[in-house]
Amino acid sequence: MNENVLNHPMITHKLAILRDVNTCTKEFRELITEIATLICYEATRDAKLEEVTIDTPLESMKTGKVNEDNYVVVPILRAGMGMLDGIINVMPNAKVGHIGLARNETTHEPEEYYYKMPENLSSREALIIDPMLATGGSIAATIDRLKSDGVKCIKILCIVASPEGIKHIEDNYPEVQIFCATVDRQLNDNAYILPGLGDAGDRIYGTK
């Protein structure tokens, strides 16, 4: 099982507002940020701590710090950018690499239009962020691109996943962990998630 679903009443509560067709753009953006922050805490639970000695006002102590330079956060444009502030709340110094993908409305296959990653990519753990894991095609294309650039450790952080999308990733990339706020029922004939929240990009940017 590669999927890690955040089972928490406050997540269900926030998702209920997020999914609602009457939720305005401002609130939608704020909730995407908040949920992304919570998912990021889960996804970095295994972060390596490097021992440091610090001085409190009272005494010295040995403790640990995470080297954020070990990570690259990869938002899938456009909708993935909606989660970025939430991730940066947890890891303010993480490097960000962008991939631009748009699903072809007929074939539902992702088409790449942009790719720009930070240096030393192959030595970083990649956190792919995108609110929606529907067919899994966009995330699979991102994983393939990162792997061909030598990235060895990849995690997916999404908000709503479909069972079909999770199976697609698990079947093809058994080493990749998925962190999501919910797994919904199914895809519809247009490859949208049911009950879902609609088109995440359009709702974040108010384009429809």
The footprint of ligand URA (CB under 6 A) covers 79, 132, 134, 192-193, 196, 199-201
Tell me how far apart the alpha carbons of residues 18 and 86 are, in angstroms, rounded to a whole number: 15
The span of 33-41, 71-79, 144-152, 172-180 binding ligand PRP (CB under 6 A) equals 71-79
171 is known as an active-site residue = no
Q: Nearest approach, Cβ of 59 to ligand PRP (angstroms)?
A: 49
**Residue with the CB atom nearest ligand PRP in the bound state:** 201
> Could you say which of 36, 40, 134, 176 contacts ligand PRP (CB under 6 A)?
134
- Read off the tokens for 19: 């999914």
If contact means CB under 5 to 8 A according to the sort of partner, which of ligand URA, ligand PRP, none does residue 108 touch?
ligand PRP
Classify residue 64 by its DSSP letter. E
Q: Which residues in the 89-128 window bind ligand PRP by CB under 6 A?
A: 101-103, 108, 110
From the list ligand PRP, ligand URA, none, pick the one residue 165 interacts with, judged by a Cβ distance below 5 to 8 Å according to partner type.
ligand PRP
Check binding of 201 to ligand PRP (CB under 6 A). Answer: yes
**What residue 192 binds from ligand URA, ligand PRP, none (CB within 5 to 8 A, per partner kind)?**
ligand URA
Q: Give me the DSSP letters along 150-201.
A: T--EEEEEEEEE-HHHHHHHHHH-TT-EEEEEEE-SEE-TTS-EESS-S-HH
From residue 164, give the alpha-carbon distance in Å to each of 30, 32, 57, 80.
28, 22, 53, 20
Whole-number minimum distance, CB 19 to ligand URA, in Å? 11
Q: Which long-range contacts (CB under 8 A, 24 or more apart) does 51-59 make?
A: none
> Taking CB within 5 to 8 Å according to partner kind, which of ligand PRP, ligand URA, none is near residue 137?
ligand PRP
Interhelix angle 81-90/25-43, nearest 10 degrees: 50
Q: Tell me the closest approach of the beta carbon of residue 42 to ligand URA, in angstroms.
A: 22
Question: By the 8 A CB rule, do 133 and 79 touch?
Answer: no
**Which residue carries 């330079």 as its tokens?**
69
Nearer of residues 90 and 193 to ligand URA, judged by Cβ: 193
Which tokens belong to 58?
A: 């009272």
Give catalytic residue positions: 103, 107, 199, 202
